[in-house]
Amino acid sequence: MSPQRKLLLLGTFVHCKTQQDLEFLHDAGIAVDAHGKIAAIERDVGDVSEAKTRLLKKLGWSEAEVDVTQAADGQFFFPGFVDTHIHAPQYANAGIFGKSSLLDWLETYTFPLESSLKDLAKARRVYARCIRRTLSHGTTTATYFATIDVAATNLLADLCLSMGQRAFVGRVCMDGTEVNPAYYRDASTEESLKATQQTIEHVRKIDPGFDIISPILTPRFAPSCSREAMSELAQIHRETNLPIQTHISENPGEIQLVAKLFPEADSYAGVYDKYGLLTPRTVLAHAVHISEQEADLIAQKGSKVSHCPCSNTCLTSGPARVRWMWDKGIDVGLGTDVSGGYSPSILEAARQAALVSRHVAMGIEIPNEGGDAAVEKEKEKERVKLTVEEVLYLATKGGARCVGLEDKIGGFKVGMEWDAQLVTLNAVNEDGEVRELDDDEGFVDVFGWETWGDRVAKWLYNGDDRNTKRVWVKGKLVHRRK
């Protein structure tokens, strides 16, 4: 990595202190060193120029060696988003899913597109646009499924590195013959594992310390993989500690298929456990229909869940129960699951996590006869709803925990890396604007009387990429909006 300029960030900082609470630092300053690490934080100094002076003095840095970014009044810095589940090749299909559900969606829309990306020119167009867009939405870390193709997967890793997005890049293992079509599957288990090794070697070459890019072992989902391939991938994990990602329990038809194909296991999670894939470094996408026992097993193994609310609704998979998974002690992050989900934005995923939690609440029946049982159900209905703070936690710290980066990203703390975004909202002028809109900073309108909590809520619910003015990964500016 070439040496970077040091940074001083000044203004208001907002991040998730806990799962339930945001912390607001006003008139504060953060200093970032040449390695992209937070070197110092000054808060409660009442004045940004004072924060700046103190930081420079404390660190012995001169003004000449730092780039200063001062958030304007009403703007704030927020941690970059973590997308724990996104299919880069499917970006080209965002919004195209008709009335399909999982298995016919794979066959109709997904396998044909993924297969076609062995054309590297096409892959470059789709991947570059996917990375550019997700960066523009504030996604500083993305956990990608690529395709089965080695060269295209390596290209995705190259593009993430050159565009500066922190990424886990997985060549998709599909050596099974049950659901994988003849035109899109690995030639054999041996070829499949060899191809995966080639993509791991490639990343080792371009980013030896896995500083920004890491390979990730990616059995697509149990029905796509042989027992041997799953076991071998688990063996690679044990040797290398590389992370693992796959899908679990998205759709009833899929679950039936898994039961049929793997009679030796007593559940879907049981299949992954049997073949060594349930590890603390495993991200399981969806987990909509997992049983109590499966949730307990996942928690016990320390595996993580990527909640994909948009996709779960679009493909009529079902509403996943985040509060319940949290109760079980499972770490949960958010996935856009493009293109099962239509949106490349984790802010949208957070919004939809809030909405879907309300659908979970609305599904709780309140007994007509009233009494204690009804009171309990009403409490439960209230409790399962996710707050603004909680869904933003999922989008940042929750995601960081899922991908094992909780010590590096997801919040603002000395020693952590500067993966962040600068957020702006529209201030509505005083004179009752009837003229044309003269800005293009999204449509979150702040009138001036809102609390900071209200502003963040407005951003969550109506914000988009226009509100994300700057994005940094590891201290490097990787996106800026004019």
- The residues in 372-431 that bind its own copies, with binding defined as CB under 8 A, are 381-382, 385, 387-388, 428, 430-431
Any idea which residue has 């991200």 for tokens?
A: 283
Binding residues for its own copies, rule CB under 8 A, total: 72
**Interacting span for its own copies (CB under 8 A) from 8-16, 42-50, 63-71, 93-101:** 93-101
Contacts for 272 with CB less than 8 Å, ≥ 6 apart: 222, 230, 246, 248, 278, 282, 284
Burial of 431 (0-12, 13-18, 19+ CB in 10 A): exposed
Q: Which is nearer to its own copies, 91 or 144 (CB)?
A: 91
Which residues 150-189 are close enough to bind its own copies by CB under 8 A?
159, 162-163
| Shortest Å, Cβ 347 to its own copies | 12
Q: What character string, x for contact with its own copies (CB under 8 A) and - otherwise, covers 125-154? A: xxxxx-xxx--xx-----------------
355 scored as a contact of its own copies (CB under 8 A): yes
| Shortest Å, Cβ 162 to its own copies | 7
Which residues 109-128 are close enough to bind its own copies by CB under 8 A?
121, 124-128
Contacts for 34 with CB less than 8 Å, ≥ 6 apart: 3, 4, 5, 6, 475
**Interacting span for its own copies (CB under 8 A) from 194-202, 206-214, 222-230, 357-365:** 357-365
Q: Which is nearer to its own copies, 231 or 462 (CB)?
A: 462
Q: Which is nearer to its own copies, 15 or 458 (CB)?
A: 458
Q: What character string, x for contact with its own copies (CB under 8 A) and - otherwise, covers 433-462? A: xx-xx--x--xxx-x--x---x--xxxxxx
Q: What character string, x for contact with its own copies (CB under 8 A) and - otherwise, covers 26-55? A: ------------------------------
| Shortest Å, Cβ 31 to its own copies | 27
Main-chain phi, psi angles of 179, to 5 degrees = -110, -20
CA distance 423 to 421: 6
CA angle 210, 213, 216 (to 5 degrees): 90
Widest Cα–Cα separation across the chain: 72
Binder to its own copies among 17, 37, 358, 377 (CB under 8 A)?
Answer: 358
Q: Which is nearer to its own copies, 342 or 418 (CB)?
A: 342
Q: Which is nearer to its own copies, 282 or 313 (CB)?
A: 313
Q: Which is nearer to its own copies, 182 or 434 (CB)?
A: 434
Residue 119: C-alpha distances to residues 116, 161, 344, 356 (Å)? 6, 21, 23, 37
| Shortest Å, Cβ 33 to its own copies | 26
| Shortest Å, Cβ 426 to its own copies | 9
Contacts for 155 with CB less than 8 Å, ≥ 6 apart: 120, 123, 124, 127
Burial of 197 (0-12, 13-18, 19+ CB in 10 A): middle
Neighbours of 198 (CB within 10 A): 14
Residue 82: C-alpha distances to residues 57, 136, 165, 214, 435 (Å)? 33, 13, 11, 14, 38
Which residues 463-482 are close enough to bind its own copies by CB under 8 A?
464-466, 479-480, 482
| Shortest Å, Cβ 143 to its own copies | 20
CA distance 441 to 458: 14
**Interacting span for its own copies (CB under 8 A) from 55-63, 212-220, 266-274, 310-318:** 310-318
Beta bridge partners of 282: 244
Write down the H helix ranges in 60-149: 102-105, 111-116, 120-136
Q: Which is nearer to its own copies, 177 or 316 (CB)?
A: 316
Any idea which residue has 């724990």 for tokens?
A: 84
Binder to its own copies among 89, 223, 318, 335 (CB under 8 A)?
Answer: 318
Q: Return the sign of the alpha-carbon dihedral for residues 196, 200, 206, 212.
A: positive
